[in-house]
Structure 1
Amino acid sequence: MNRFSDNELTRNDFLGGRVRLWQPRAGYRAGVDPVLLAAAVPATRGHTVLELGCGAGAAILCLLARVPGVSGIGVELQPAYADLARRNADENGAAMEFHEADLSTLPAELKQRRFDHVIANPPYYRAGAHSPAADQGRSVALGEGTPLDVWFDVAARRLAPKGYLHMIQKADRLPDMLAGCAGRLGSVEVLPLAARAGRAAELVILRARKGGKAAFQLHAPLILHAGDRHEKDGESYTTQVSAVLREGAALPGFTGQ
């Protein structure tokens, strides 16, 4: 599939409508994860951002909407999603470049560039660790095709000195993430994301810095929902998380934020 037809798409609001995103009805659809990832990045005006595996553009477009004056580039393996990301960028007024490429074989022009930030939301499941999705696009997005270590290698090579990598992943992949940083990135911080107080974290956001020397930090979990159980229809996000998702606030929990 090279392009989605309009009747295969829905248009959804992010950041309280500041970002409107076309997404496939039946393919991979962005939820809150890329919004939380974007909110963790301490970007400022003039910074450059590269997203590896950008999909339809949810994370990087939310970052650009939150921090004016940031320039972004997205890399996406699947042509239909790369095309959708371009459309979403145009319709959200974001001047961006998108490249259709396997991240392990980036275009030569990208290999000559360095970025202040790299962000990534790699597939959550190891190859063979989940049942394949019926939709090919969703299957590629969820199931690991490129080893996680390669994501870290590519990110580290593309970062400028003192640049930051931010990655969101399943909590059980944390050992692989730390191994990916070893010898490449330092000043590692990990923010666990727990659905409710008293529950184990299902996701983590990792921050690491090229050339960083600070000690490892494991932060207290960020609790996403208020209360100890889901008791009624509708959203139950905490005040802090709701501000991130609806108002474009920075994600609390990391050093300096």
Structure 2
Amino acid sequence: MGNLGQRLTLTPFFQGKLKLYQPEKGYRFGIDALLLAHFLKLKPGEKALEVGAGSGIVSLIAALKQPKAKIFALELDPLFLQCLKLNSQLNLLENSLFSLKGNIARNPFRKEVFDVVFSNPPYFKPGCGRQSPDELKNLAKRETRAGLKEFLKAVAGVLKNRGRLYLIFTALRTAELMASLKEVRLEPKVLRFVHSYPGDQARFILVEAVKQAGEETLVLPPLFIYQEKGGPYTTEVREMLKGV
């Protein structure tokens, strides 16, 4: 199905506990979205925003884990918005997950309205990384609409004092990310580096930052996706794939 010139496929997830429509071709969610969803912590009654939600996999997992939170999934692309609405209905989450069309760089929200913001933002600057012929992939992985500093400034504006930001980002830009967070008074409080397998360099960094917090930072043990190069998933990742 899909009425915007692109077929959508239905993917069962978490052993069928979650069903997800996403585009048949082009950008489909990866392991980084799953890692972010399990790093994210929501409390009952909190108001959360996902920036650049795509088909909604992170927000869907978050809503299943914490059904008493209110989650707003912000997305600009019409095809992904269609997926978001279908996925919210299909998984009976219409009372806790709401899709919104918009761009955080043109901030559609009042100041300091969210307890939590989470995002899997584009990893590459314009001109960096391999260019894809698929425009949705480029939007998802390359800063075409807002740079990192502009993105973080907008996020800081919508977060309440002591509100939390959860990100997964490329480890290659860790120094830039830390400096940019501190510039907008988002203090990195919890960090976890993600490696493909033991002995490999860090590929991603998971970050929890708190608005207007003190300067102590907890660095968690590394997360390994695979037991070895070319090997099976680690026990931790296998447990994530089983679901909530």
| TM-score, length of structure 2 as denominator length | 0.91
Deviation digits for residues 194-226 of structure 1 (CA, Å, limit 9, x no counterpart): 111111111111110112114123332111222
From the superposition, tell whether residues 203 and 225 of structure 1 become closer, same or farther in structure 2 (CA, over 3 Å). Answer: same
Q: Which residue does 2:200 correspond to in 1?
A: 199
Overall identity of the aligned pairs, in %:
26
Q: Deviations over 1:151-178 (max 9, x none)?
A: 2111111112221100111111212211
CA contact (8 A) 2:182 2:188 kept: no
The answer for the alignment partner of 2:211 in structure 1 is 210
Q: Which amino acid aligns with 2:154?
A: V
* TM-aligned CA deviation for residue 187 of structure 1: 4.4
Deviation track 1:18-66 (CA, whole Å, cap 9, x = no partner) reads 2211111212100221121111122122111100111111111111112
Q: How does 1:86-235 map to 2 (within 5 A)?
A: 86-95=85-94, 96-107=97-108, 110-112=109-111, 114-145=113-144, 146-183=146-183, 184-226=185-227, 228-231=228-231
**Aligned residue number for residue 44 of structure 1:** 43
Aligned residue number for residue 253 of structure 1? none
SS at structure 2 position matched to 1:75 = strand
Task: For residue 182 of structure 1, give the secondary structure of its aligned residue in structure 2.
Answer: helix
Asked whether the 8 Å contact 1:64–1:70 carries over to 2, the reply is yes
Runs of 4+ in 1 over 4 A off after TM superposition: none
CA distance in 2, matches of 1:34, 1:111: 27
User: What letter is aligned with 1:245?
Assistant: L
* Structure 1, unpaired ranges of 5+: 249-257
CA distance in structure 1 between the partners assigned to 2:111 and 2:181 by the alignment: 22
Gaps of 5+ in 2: none
Q: Deviations over 1:67-102 (max 9, x none)?
A: 221110011121221222111111111123222212
8 Å contact from structure 1 (residues 118, 166) kept in 2: yes
Paired residue type of 1:120? S
